[in-house]
Amino acid sequence: MANKIGRNGSRSPKPRLKKGKRRVPTRTTAIRAEAGVPRPSIDPWTAPHVSIIVPVMNERRTLGRVIREAFRVHPHTEVIAVVNGSTDGSLEIARKSGAKVLVYDRPLGHDVGRSIGAREAMGNILMFIDADMVIPAAKLRAFVDAVAKGTDVALNDYSGPVNKPVVHGVVLAKHALNSLLGRSDLEGTSMTAIPHAISRRALSVMGTSALTVPPLAHAMAIREGLKVERVIPINVGMLNPIRAKRERKNSLEPLIVGDHLEAIQWWLRKTDFRGGYEDGARQRWMVR
């Protein structure tokens, strides 16, 4: 995403992003809620209980419904729409919805919108959803309730299809990472998949920058002893089927597999070159 568009049409300087890097701009560039838009019934003197972050890039078809469901999750909810690189009228829909709108005139890149939204969030519980998947508020509420009861990272209990002759690389990466982290009970669940929710405590431990690489944030949460749990299953594979044309031209598989490798590298730095796993009775010195 790029620079904020002000009410008077002026633009602030674009944040500088190094080539090949996915990181959050170093400052907020006058990000704030759109003025003059009526909010749902929230006491202005009360901080929101839940902040729901929605990255938006050309999601005109579903955005209005996504935001409506988000506002129904809790009486004290703020919805933060991070509109980036949109040219289809999504910005106008977001502004009329009552959401807090953060605007960038070019694409931010994978998951950076979540990180920027989290940085601006004021709620005790943060939830992350996508603008192209309409999920009923009743299902989203389950993740908020889990965090309210003590869970730090409430995951979508969706592990992806594994009963296939050839399993997708992203599904394999999720299972492999959880096994390495000693959490095979999580199977293929991950912070890569939405919806998921985190506590304010989890955000302070992981930091907003880690959210740009969800498997890294996932590994940090487990390493730091946070309570990471599966909640309810929402089949996002059915809600957002693979877009064959996009996958042929610009598949996200290498990017997401790379995210998992980055998480593994971080884990090795925090443990040892075998990730904390023993070498058994192998006498390597005999052949050195």
Give per-residue pLDDT as tens, 143-184: 999 999 999 999 999 998 888 888 899 999 999 999 999 999
Q: What is the pTM of this model?
A: 0.81
Confidence band for 252, pLDDT divided at 50, 70 and 90: confident
Give per-residue pLDDT as tens, 103-117: 999 999 889 999 999
The answer to whether residue 193 sits within a structural domain is: yes
The answer to whether residue 14 sits within a structural domain is: no
Q: Could you tell me the residue range of the domain that residue 54 belongs to?
A: 50-239+250-270
With residue 102 as reference, give the H or E element that holds it. strand 100-104
| Cα atoms found within 13 Å of the Cα of residue 80, Cβ hemisphere only | 23
Neighbouring C-beta atoms of residue 138, cutoff 10 Å: 10
The answer to whether residue 275 sits within a structural domain is: no
Query: For the chain, what is the domain count?
Result: 1
- Whether the link from the prior residue into 195 is cis, omega within 30° of 0, is yes
pLDDT for residue 243 is more than 70: no
Taking residues 185-196, report their average pLDDT.
96
The answer to whether residue 5 sits within a structural domain is: no
Residue 136's pLDDT is 97
Q: What is the CATH number of the domain that holds 265?
A: 3.90.550.10
